[in-house]
A and B are shown apart, each in its own frame.
Chain A
Amino acid sequence: DTGVSQDPRHKITKRGQNVTFRCDPISEHNRLYWYRQTLGQGPEFLTYFQNEAQLEKSRLLSDRFSAERPKGSFSTLEIQRTEQGDSAMYLCASSLAAVTGYNSPLHFGNGTRLTVT
């Protein structure tokens, strides 16, 4: 168990550019979540996948944001035409959802810190 891995750890980009982040969950976990955390605040839920299906998206996830999990393993989060307000820590987490309805606790990665200049 190597934990949830996120890449890159830091990204600085200019306003208007597109950025893509990657998340590798714990290998046996079938659920993958994206959260966003701005300075001084708690994380906010963005979206989650069960296997390759995106099951829920927050209203926070504007049209400029898109997330994929094509093979049910790693996931990417792309932000198009970045804005300064997109500056935040983007956290990925994973868990195991059993057919019984039980969800194991979330394991978070160490995040990608995005700075939009």
Chain B
Amino acid sequence: TQLLEQSPQFLSIQEGENLTVYCNSSSVFSSLQWYRQEPGEGPVLLVTVVTGGEVKKLKRLTFQFGDARKDSSLHITAAQPGDTGLYLCAYDNAGNMLTFGGGTRLMVKP
């Protein structure tokens, strides 16, 4: 089983701060997905990274796939309270049978 380890597990910051969360594994992946899940809701796909070294930007969110395709990071610039949620990385075993990491729970205080 390929495991995804996410760190930190919890992060509480003030509005306006920057942060980075990590998704690590010893395995190589063809792609990794990032989701955000707000309380009481299902996960929502943010981005899929496919190419080693790839950087994708979604407004204030920057996603990077490691050169060796074993890890990924999510950087948020000038965090806002609306960024609060559970950030999950996942890989696709086949046909959307996803294996998720344990997630990073982010709280951004106003």
List residues of A whose CB falls within 8 A of some B CB: 4, 31, 33, 35, 40-45, 48, 56, 91, 93, 95, 97, 103, 105-106, 108-111
Alpha-carbon distance A110/B48, docked complex (angstroms): 21
Contact assessment for A93 and B42 in the assembled complex, using a CB-CB cutoff below 8 Å: yes
Alpha-carbon distance A48/B98, docked complex (angstroms): 11
A56 CB contacts on chain B under 8 angstroms: 95, 97
Give the one of B88, B98, B102 with max A CB within 10 A. Answer: B98
Q: Indicate whether A105 sits within 8 Å of B101 (C-beta atoms), given known contacts A48-B95, A95-B96.
A: no
Contact assessment for A44 and B42 in the assembled complex, using a CB-CB cutoff below 8 Å: no
How many Å from the CB of B85 to the closest CB on chain A?
13
Q: Mark B25-55, 1 if CB is under 8 A from A, else 0.
A: 0000000010000001111110010000000
Q: Indicate whether A105 sits within 8 Å of B100 (C-beta atoms), given known contacts A42-B90, A43-B43, A110-B42.
A: no
A48 CB contacts on chain B under 8 angstroms: 95-97
User: Does B2 reach chain A (CB closer than 8 Å)?
Assistant: no
User: Does B14 reach chain A (CB closer than 8 Å)?
Assistant: no
A33 CB contacts on chain B under 8 angstroms: 96-97
Alpha-carbon distance A43/B102, docked complex (angstroms): 8
